Amino acid sequence: VVDARAARWMRASRTAAGRLHVEETARLDEHWDGSESQRPQVATHHPVERTHTDTGHAEEERRHRFAKKVTHWMGEQIATQHAKRVHLFSPAHLLGEMRKLMPPALAAMIADEAHDLGTLHTSEIAKHPAVCAIPAADERYFLDEHLKRD
């Protein structure tokens, strides 16, 4: 589950009653304040007034940097978990940016959906229609074989 400020790696399993239980097992937070910008700074003796355009470029750069960081992190998590298929839920604008940055091998392992679940608690994620709609065969493979590993 990825949103504009954090990426959460979730582990899912079925309870004895057959309900989906989801828990967060890893987290990556976005910590960019804009001072790390690669955009050239213009030397001036006059105070620089921030414009809407500047803010837009900073937001675009922040989103790109976080998408790049998350894409790399997902590759590490997949390797650690020995996963072959991962369901990724993210807002459309961030999902599009991550798709551009994913190497083909990583992209082939990702089933992505444009849903903003980042503000939801794990119990709410387990009940979300998009999560519940994961095909049974894929869910069984995804949940049982890959997310239960420690």
* pLDDT tens profile 65-122: 999 999 999 999 999 888 878 889 999 989 999 999 999 999 999 988 888 898 899 8
- On the question of pLDDT at 46 being above 60, the answer is no
130 in Cβ contact with 122 (< 8 Å): no
Please compute Rg for the chain using Cα positions. Answer: 18
Q: What is the pLDDT of residue 33?
A: 56
CB 107, CB 99: distance < 8 Å: yes
- Are the C-beta atoms of residues 24 and 10 closer than 8 Å to each other? yes
pLDDT at 2: 86
**pTM for the full model?**
0.72
- Looking at the DSSP assignment, which residues form a beta bridge with residue 87? 111
